[in-house]
Structure 1
Amino acid sequence: MIDILREVGMIERALDSIANREFKQFNLSNLQFLYVVRIYEHPGIIAEQLANLIKVDRTTLARAVRRLEKQGYVCRENDPENKKIKHLYVTKKGKEIYPFIMRENTHSNEVALKGFNAEEAQQVHDYLVRIRQNVDADWNFVKHGGKREY
């Protein structure tokens, strides 16, 4: 069997390393920029939805959001009907860095797809979506206490 996960992992680690260095000027690391982007794109999102979107556990998410709050990139607001629910929003500071993050993302995509024509790039995208959807089922199963059989 072809081990595509090694390749995906190497790509992910290389891009994370690049992004961590490039976003260091904003004091963002460990994929914190991703949280800012997703909150920007989904204003008012709640923690559980964000954790599912990014595929992290709630503890990791809570730690990252607290740090982003302290840095002034995001804020939490109480739900008007249920005080236990906190909605997440980017602040003015978070909105200001969003274009820079997106430029880095566009550049990284262009580098990754160098030499691919539009049809090939679309195929890669479609295959990766299918792979993510396959993995989502296991991720949800394990997240809720399941144990996979090997």
Structure 2
Amino acid sequence: MLTHQFLREVGAVARCVQSLSDVTFKKLTLQRGQFVFLTRICETPGIHLLELSHLLKVDKATTTKAVQKLAAEGYVRKVQNAEDKRMYQLFPTVRAEKVYPELIAEENRYLVCCFAGMTKEEQALAETLLRRIRENIEDEWMEWKTGKGGASHENS
């Protein structure tokens, strides 16, 4: 028996935001979930592919595919690192910088919906608790990513 509904609730929120964003950003030729990659690249110009993967908690193949599509649409440019030729840094293009405020405005709109009826204190508490929860599970995720996780993750 499941001991808590928390992860199901978090998943439902994430899927709602994902679905709303996919519809909203279709006019910008952003495909499923690409807005998340694009906002992080805009916020962290020069980020490496692996750093972006870790930041978003996705595998490198998913990040590579998203970045390739964003580059093809003129949102991202890849620059080979001068010191390590195997590594590429990611930068937003002028097109990305123009749409970034729209992406953030939409994210802020979703936050208003999420926090409707909550006091500022409740909002701050929710954010603090969720950050702590993320940090806790992130430790488990990092162990799994680095191959130090237990047997329960062997087939993940």
Residue 125 of structure 2 aligns with which residue? 123
Query: What is the RMSD of the two structures over their aligned residues, measured on CA atoms?
Result: 1.3
Residue 109 of structure 1 aligns with which residue? 111
Residue 100 of structure 1 aligns with which residue? 102
Residue 22 of structure 1 aligns with which residue? 24
Q: Distance in 1 between matches of 2:68 and 2:151?
A: 32
Bigger shift: residues 125-134 or 27-36: 27-36
TM-score, normalising length from structure 1? 0.95
Q: Distance in 1 between matches of 2:41 and 2:30?
A: 15
Residue 33 of structure 1 aligns with which residue? 35
Show CA shifts across 1:82-106 (max 9, x none): 2222110000111111010000001
Gapped regions of structure 2 (runs ≥ 5):
none
Residue 88 of structure 1 aligns with which residue? 90
Q: What fraction of aligned residue pairs are identical, expressed as a percent?
A: 33
Q: Distance in 1 between matches of 2:125 and 2:139?
A: 22
Gapped regions of structure 1 (runs ≥ 5):
none
Show CA shifts across 1:42-65 (max 9, x none): 010101111111110001000110
Q: Does 1:3 align with 2:5?
A: yes
* Residues 142 and 148 in structure 1, CA contact (< 8 A), matched pair in contact too: no
TM-score, normalising length from structure 2? 0.92
* Residues 20 and 29 in structure 1, CA contact (< 8 A), matched pair in contact too: yes
> Letter of the aligned partner of 1:58 in structure 2?
K
